[in-house]
Amino acid sequence: MEKCLFCKVVNKQIPAKIIYEDDIVVAFEDINPQAPVHILLIPKKHVETVLDLTEEDKDLAGYLFLAAGKIARDIEALNDGFRIVVNCKENAGQAVFHLHLHILGGRRMQWPPG
Ligand code: AMP
Ligand code: ZN
């Protein structure tokens, strides 16, 4: 998607602090971190929201969680736990319409979320 910010990260058209990349996903540091560790994990395929995932994306959706686990295991600050957040549309505060998992940690999280 030409105008999509995160497609631009995938295509290296804008800089990002990439911490993991393979054929299917990219993980990079959030530009405005909400915790000591705040990573965004995205599929390379442009999918706007969770609601836009189809049967065809079954493997992709599973892969995102496997990749999140793989990334988290390698970060010492996440040893005591972390949170994965996926915002969907306006009420959740989704700002970038390219599916992404927030991996947040390095501090005690509050519940319920704001
Ligand atoms: P969301 O509100 O769930 O759509 O989250 C979008 C996230 O993308 C926010 O946490 C932003 O701080 C982050 N963000 C926006 N632009 C960039 C960028 N160029 N590089 C890294 N993170 C970004
Ligand atoms: Zn995109």
Tell me: the pLDDT tens digits for 15-41?
999 999 999 999 999 999 999 999 999
Cβ(95) – ligand 1 distance below 6 Å? yes
Q: Cα(first)–Cα(last) distance of the chain, in Å?
A: 31
Q: Angle at the Cα of 93 (from 1 to 9), degrees rounded to 5? A: 30
Under the banding of pLDDT at 50, 70 and 90, the label for residue 102 is very high
For ligand 1, what atom is nearest to the CA of residue 87?
3
Task: Give the number of whichever ligand sits closest to the CA of residue 100.
Answer: 1
CA of 73 to the centre of ligand 1 (A): 23
Cβ(18) – ligand 1 distance below 6 Å? no
**Closest to 72 in 3D by CA, of 20, 111, 31:** 20
State in words which class domain 5-105 has. alpha beta
pTM comes to 0.98
Question: Which residues neighbour 23 within 8 Å (Cβ) at sequence distance 6 or greater?
Answer: 44
Under the banding of pLDDT at 50, 70 and 90, the label for residue 114 is confident
pLDDT exceeds cutoff 90 at 80 = yes
Residue spans of the domains in the chain: they are 5-105
pLDDT exceeds cutoff 90 at 88 = yes
Task: Give the number of whichever ligand sits closest to the CA of residue 39.
Answer: 1
- Alpha helix locations (H) across the chain? 5-10, 58-73
Give the pLDDT confidence score for residue 9 in this predicted structure.
Answer: 98
Residue 67 amino acid letter: A
Strands 25-29 and 82-85: unpaired
Quick check: helix, strand or coil at residue 84? strand
Distance of CA 40 to the CA centre of its chain: 3
Active site residue 38: no
